[in-house]
Structure 1
Amino acid sequence: MHHFHYKGGKLYAEGVSLDALAEEYGTPLYVYSGHTVVEHYKALDHALKPLDHLICYAMKANSTLALLRLLARQGSGFDLVSGGELFRVQQAGGDPGKCTFAGVGKTRAEIEQALRAGIYCFMVESEAELTFINEVATRLRKIAPVALRVNPNVDAKTHSKITTGTYENKFGIAFEEIPALYQRATALKHVTLRGVQMHIGSQITTAAPFAAAVKKMIPLVRELHRRHRLEFFDIGGGIGIVYEDALASGQPDWWKKKGAPLTPAAYAESVVPQLRTLGLKVLVEPGRFMVGNAGVLLSEVLYVKKTGKKNFVIIDAAMNDLIRPAFYDSYHEIVPLRAKTGKTIPSDVVGPICESGDTFAKDRPLQPLKTGDRIAFLSAGAYGFTMASNYNTRPRAAEILVEGTKVKLARKREALVDLIRGETA
């Protein structure tokens, strides 16, 4: 579900006209629905109610402070992959004691920062990292809570650049090596074994891969718990969202009529029965699921260029604002902020950057657009702004949070002077 809909021929985020926001704040512009984020958190929390559980939002999906604060107020934990993300959690009022720290390349500075902040657990991705964390903790005279990330060698059948659970990927430790490594870890004086973790990939749209991975892991987790008295089993994230027909997915009865790639209830049904008998807290790390359909990117048409073969719609947003189509060949539904009628035209929607890859859609059937029309890229709340850059010396977009009829400027648009701050000529 989400809270983007047409009313009186205009596209709204909750109770606010997106066209009015574009007029006031300019484009490109990210707009988020706060109610959508909170409802997604509550839906997953409710689905996992039979378990002692902690939701750790994977903030790499979107680390905007205003959204982090919304989730912190719900009691969410956070899944971190950098010291910068830990800093953001603290600035947003989140609890470091509910934070897990993942990633294959943690630095000394990041490990020290996390130990001083009192994070819940490091998710360790190699034996070398485990040894290094112990060395850092020894120097600080602290005990580092750790869990080893298991690579279960389960193919989630998702995009090659976002799968993480096979031996072809850089993540985690091979399933077969885990028992011996846990045993060796007991000899390290400044780490404590708090849990075990896995994560098989992102944008997974069926329950089967989750169920298969958990089934494979359960015997191993039981044995590790018997030997080392663990606190938790972290099953990772990866719940997919709707990208195609995304606007329709906001209708109240949409789930009943069409189903969805993976609802919280269906996800829970696939894993909860296996997990209930473990006697361990269960951690989950949703990212895209929480915020993906809660955000849109607004843009304005600059020019329409017709060649003998193509109808190019040139807009003021570019791949530096939303890189997913260029990077992953990802699909984002494109809709006008003011409803249009008439026969569609196959159109290439492109940005102004000097790269052929600065293309959002090719031969997409769209109602005719003209200079000054505004459009929205749907399902842009995850891996949109968080992956934005200043390529071509372009300022990054502003971000708006909408809650009902309340509008909050979550991030000001960058000025040109911001682009050279810290540089010298």
Structure 2
Amino acid sequence: MELVDGRYQIQGVDVLDICQKFDTPLYVYDAEKMATKLNMLKDAFKGLNLKIKYAAKALTNVSVLKFLRTQGVGLDVVSIQEAHLGLKTGFKPEEILFTPNCVSLEEIKMAVELGLVINIDNISILEQFGHAYGDSVPCCIRINPHLMAGGNANISVGHIDSKFGVSILQARHLLRVIKTNNIKVTGLHMHTGSDILDAEVFLRGADILFDLAQDLPDLEFVDFGSGFRVAYKEGDVTTDIVDLGKKLTVRFKEFCKDYGRELEIWFEPGKFLVSEAGHFLMKTNVIKTTPATVFVGVDSGFNHLIRPMMYDSHHTIFNVSNPNSETTRVYTVVGYICETDTFGWDRKLNEVREGDIIALKNAGAYGFSMASNYNSRFRPAEVLVHNGKAHLIRKRETMDDILRNQVMLDFEAEKAEA
């Protein structure tokens, strides 16, 4: 979103016009921004046999999935439902990596039947998988190298107590299970979590996977996941993708030479591709002044964007309706949910008036995908701006959506029958 002639625009489309047409609260995504981030990653690793698998959990709207497919990416899914969304939007089964956590073998069998690439992250399921398929169905193994990245404790999950991945400390046991059950392992996957800043973290993880790879002769790819940090406010430190590309490309080529053949290198960016492409737009319902604080109360809440309350995440907030104001004030922006429900504390904004449109940046990832109907509120509409035109890609919910799967019992009839 950029300010042009005193009006905020996305690809030349006026943001206030979008809100007028589709109402608020509203998620708006910029397809051009997604493509830019994708090309940045492609350029950084252009010397390698690269495959990018979009981590669908970040934003699962089918139009977004379909757009990214047109850009030449595959898909990383964490549930059988996400897999079906991917297939419905045109991804081929072999383009979809299935990486669930703590699911039953039955769900993995469903993924096998669909023809997906299977990624297994615990030894118990791996043994059951081996008993069921032997070497007839290949799989990838998800390794936790215990490399701590940054970020909130809930998303920094490379530590020893993490539920994700097979601990590298269990490598001998892992290899024993693979050999005993004649399992064909065609991929190794590194799990580290989110907000990795330093290329050295990837390189340390790479060395761990490369050592393990020497005992796995059938490998076709090594998957380094993602976890690239994006900027949430001015001055934020982000992952230097160019530096990472240079250093990891050299190391990966050395590994392939030692391994005896060229392998594919995979990444699974989610937030990196869609976070900065998304803005969440809300209307100011009320300006409420207390002895201590001036609140901007908006027509949304953590039911639509839970990250500030759940992760204490910072999202830049600005007044779309009053970009040229000469007056700035300090506000706390809050929602309409009957709980503590704050989008941003003590933010300096251009003067906000009731009815003004307020925007939150970095709303493309884990915004709508984590939204709920708490307080029986409707989930918002979604809009994708593509080729200079705003397209509705999800309708706003109605009361029919709230009631659709509920069953109302007839207690009066039951009482009469008694």
Per the normalisation by structure 1, the TM-score is 0.90
Distance change (3 Å), C-alpha of 1:329 and 1:370: same
| Pairing of 1:331-370 with structure 2 (within 5 A) | 331-338=314-321, 339-356=323-340, 358-370=341-353
Q: Distance in 1 between matches of 2:247 and 2:314?
A: 27
Is the partner of 2:211 in helix, strand or coil? helix
Root-mean-square deviation (CA), in Å?
1.8
Is the partner of 1:326 in helix, strand or coil? helix
Larger radius of gyration, structure 1 or 2?
2
Name the amino acid aligned to 2:78.
V
- The answer to whether residue 21 in structure 2 is matched with residue 24 in structure 1 is yes
Q: Which runs of 5+ in 1 are unaligned?
A: 246-257
| Pairing of 1:370-385 with structure 2 (within 5 A) | 370-385=353-368
Q: Distance in 1 between matches of 2:319 and 2:199?
A: 33
Partner of 2:148: 155
Is the partner of 2:180 in helix, strand or coil? coil
Partner of 1:213: 205
Q: Distance in 2 between matches of 1:367 and 1:275?
A: 49
| Offset from partner CA, 1:200-257 (integer Å, 9 cap, x none) | 1112233232223223333222x224xx321111111101111103xxxxxxxxxxxx
Q: Distance in 2 between matches of 1:351 and 1:79?
A: 33
- Given candidates 3, 6, 15, the residue that maps to 2:3 is 6
- Given candidates 300, 305, 314, the residue that maps to 1:322 is 305
- Given candidates 248, 258, 269, the residue that maps to 1:271 is 248
| Offset from partner CA, 1:172-226 (integer Å, 9 cap, x none) | 112122243133223325x4211111121112233232223223333222x224x
| Offset from partner CA, 1:82-122 (integer Å, 9 cap, x none) | 001101101111122011111322234422321122112x2
Partner of 2:65: 68
| Offset from partner CA, 1:349-384 (integer Å, 9 cap, x none) | 00000001x100111111221110001101100011
Distance change (3 Å), C-alpha of 1:80 and 1:177: same
Q: Distance in 1 between matches of 2:88 and 2:78?
A: 16
Partner of 2:189: 197
Partner of 1:124: 120
Q: Distance in 2 between matches of 1:398 and 1:259?
A: 30
Partner of 1:298: 281
Following TM superposition, by how much is the alpha carbon of 1:74 offset from its aligned partner in structure 2, in angstroms? Answer: 1.8
Structure 2 contact 187–220 (Cα < 8 Å) conserved = yes
Is the partner of 2:107 in helix, strand or coil? helix
Is the partner of 2:215 in helix, strand or coil? helix
- The answer to whether residue 304 in structure 2 is matched with residue 307 in structure 1 is no
Q: Distance in 2 between matches of 1:401 and 1:39?
A: 15
| Pairing of 1:29-44 with structure 2 (within 5 A) | 29-44=26-41
Structure 2 contact 199–240 (Cα < 8 Å) conserved = no
Is the partner of 1:39 in helix, strand or coil? helix
Following TM superposition, by how much is the alpha carbon of 1:348 offset from its aligned partner in structure 2, in angstroms? Answer: 0.8
Partner of 2:101: 104
Partner of 1:255: none
| Offset from partner CA, 1:280-338 (integer Å, 9 cap, x none) | 21111111000000010000000000011100000001101100000001000111223
Structure 1 contact 112–137 (Cα < 8 Å) conserved = no
Q: Which moved more, 1:175-184 or 1:22-31?
A: 175-184
| Offset from partner CA, 1:3-48 (integer Å, 9 cap, x none) | x101121111112111101111110100001111112112211211
Partner of 1:146: 139
Partner of 1:244: 233
Structure 1 contact 292–379 (Cα < 8 Å) conserved = yes
Name the amino acid aligned to 2:120.
V
Q: Which moved more, 1:40-49 or 1:303-312?
A: 40-49
Is the partner of 1:303 in helix, strand or coil? strand
| Offset from partner CA, 1:252-284 (integer Å, 9 cap, x none) | xxxxxx796124312212322111122221111
Name the amino acid aligned to 1:197.
H
Name the amino acid aligned to 1:231.
E
Q: Which moved more, 1:292-301 or 1:44-53?
A: 44-53
Structure 1 contact 115–137 (Cα < 8 Å) conserved = no
Per the normalisation by structure 2, the TM-score is 0.92
Q: Distance in 2 between matches of 1:22 and 1:398?
A: 11
- Given candidates 185, 201, 206, the residue that maps to 2:178 is 185
Distance change (3 Å), C-alpha of 1:259 and 1:164: closer
Following TM superposition, by how much is the alpha carbon of 1:53 offset from its aligned partner in structure 2, in angstroms? Answer: 1.8
Structure 2 contact 184–218 (Cα < 8 Å) conserved = no
Q: Distance in 2 between matches of 1:202 and 1:14?
A: 29
What is the count of residue pairs matched by the alignment? 401
Distance change (3 Å), C-alpha of 1:260 and 1:328: closer
Q: Which runs of 5+ in 2 are unaligned?
A: 257-262, 409-418
Following TM superposition, by how much is the alpha carbon of 1:52 offset from its aligned partner in structure 2, in angstroms? Answer: 1.2
Following TM superposition, by how much is the alpha carbon of 1:135 offset from its aligned partner in structure 2, in angstroms? Answer: 4.8
Q: Distance in 1 between matches of 2:171 and 2:317?
A: 46
